[in-house]
Amino acid sequence: MAEPLVTFEQDGAIGTITLRRPEKFNALDIPMLRALETALDAAEMAEGVRVVLLRGEGKGFCAGGDVEAWAQMSAADFQVQWVRYGHRVFDRLARLRQPTIAVLSGHALGGGLELAAACDFRVAETQMKLGFPETSIGVVPGWSGTQRAVRRFGAQTVRRMALGGEILLAPEALALGIVDRVVATGNAHEEAKAWAEKIAERGPLATEAAKLMIAVAEGEESAAATEALASGFIALTGDLKAGVDAFKAKQKPAFSRS
């Protein structure tokens, strides 16, 4: 049986999603994107998980999209199967109910940086590099590198990487606000886990609600977040119970605004 390309594991309140294609520096292809989507669903539904870490196996976090996987696609397939599907998976990560931390123990380039940008926080080891090198091979960032990355890191920073071709080391990325913490080589996972444990001590419902409200302010999502917050509030009221009980009994509900 083939080894899984992406795994989800739970350790108490901390969930960990691991990209497992080290021989390709965890470059993403369609099977990996599908496996990542499945792992994100598992993390969302896992009881008791309050923070999710995203890491890569081996020396790299994620080298981005696997060029060999898309180079032979037709224009139509490239647009739909590659770009749009990748967007869907990355949006799934960005909108995960739990706070997320990208563990950058190796380089995050192109789609790898877009993947890290979809997380709430980023812990980087000092030797790792970040950038958007896509234009050097005649393509553009396609998984939110010119959209979400601009919202989160600023347009000028993204220009330097996507247009100017700058590859940044972790300390430079820290100064620009691309990563949140920089640690010595080999310490990213330990640092991220310790940070996650502190986050997990906070009120889980309040933390999830705060994440949703920040997402609305940031333009990450609005309609779904608004409905989720309103529905969560209603679910705690006596009116919902009265309505459901009346529906089951085929009676008219007596609402009390309780």
Strands (E), the chain: 6-11, 14-19, 51-56, 100-104, 108-109, 121-125, 129-131, 168-169, 181-183
Q: pLDDT tier at 1 (50, 70, 90 boundaries)? A: low
> What residues contact residue 99 under an 8 Å CB cut-off, 6+ apart?
50, 51, 52, 120, 121, 196, 199, 207, 211
The set of catalytic residues is 114, 134
pLDDT digits (tens, 9 = 90+) for 102-123: 999 999 999 999 999 999 999 9
pLDDT digits (tens, 9 = 90+) for 49-94: 999 999 999 988 999 888 888 888 788 877 878 889 889 999 999 9
What's the one-letter identity of residue 28?
A: L
Element (H, E) at 212: helix 204-218
CA distance 92 to 255: 36
With H, G, I as helix, E, B as strand and everything else as coil, classify residue 84: helix
How big, in percent rounded to 5, are the helix, strand and coil portions of the chain?
A: 50, 15, 35
* pLDDT(231) > 70: yes
pLDDT of residue 78: 79
**Stated pTM of the model:** 0.92
**Rounded to 5 degrees, what angle do the CA atoms 156, 25, 187 make?**
75
State the average pLDDT for the chain. 92
